[in-house]
Structure 1
Amino acid sequence: MAKVNISLDAELVVEVMVLAGVGSPQDAVEAVVRDYIARGHRAETRTESKERGLREIDAKPQESQG
């Protein structure tokens, strides 16, 4: 996998390390990024399920009213 080098504010990284309970800046930032991605995938899954249900309701034949 390709690697990317970035610069971050040291205070920000230390806070992430403390919150994540990780001793390595690299591991802490990687954990945050992986968590962010996982949350995005979970949100997509919930949205897809909801949209699929709405499409199924819309696809059902409507009874005539009146």
Structure 2
Amino acid sequence: MAKVTINLDAELVVEVMVLAGVGSPQDAVELVVRDYIARGHRTEARVAEREEPRAERDLKPPEPQG
């Protein structure tokens, strides 16, 4: 996997390290990024589940009433 080098404010990184409970700035930032991506995927899955029944409902012809 390709690597990227970025500059971040030291106070920000230290806070992330404390919150993540890790001693390495690299590991702390990587954990945060991976968590952010995982949350995005979970959100997408939940939205898709909610929209799926609507799509099926829209495809079915209306039932005759009467």
TM surpasses 0.5: yes
Q: 1:16-65 CA distances to partner (integer Å, 9 max, x unpaired)?
A: 00000010000000000000000000011111111111101111211356
User: Which residue number corresponds to residue 9 of structure 2?
Assistant: 9
What residue in structure 2 maps to residue 20 of structure 1?
A: 20
Cα RMSD (Å) of the superposition?
A: 1.3
Q: TM-score of the superposition, structure 2-length normalised? A: 0.92
Aligned residue for 1:38? 38
Please report how far the alpha carbon of residue 9 of structure 1 lies from its aligned counterpart in structure 2 after TM superposition. 0.2
**Any idea what SS the aligned residue of 2:45 has?**
helix
Normalised TM-score (structure 1): 0.92
Q: Number of residues paired by the alignment?
A: 66
How far apart, CA to CA, are the structure 2 residues paired with 1:13 and 1:39? 20
The gaps in structure 2 that reach 5 residues or longer are none
CA distance in 2, matches of 1:54, 1:23: 47
Q: Distance in 1 between matches of 2:35 and 2:53?
A: 27
1:11 alignment partner, SS class:
helix
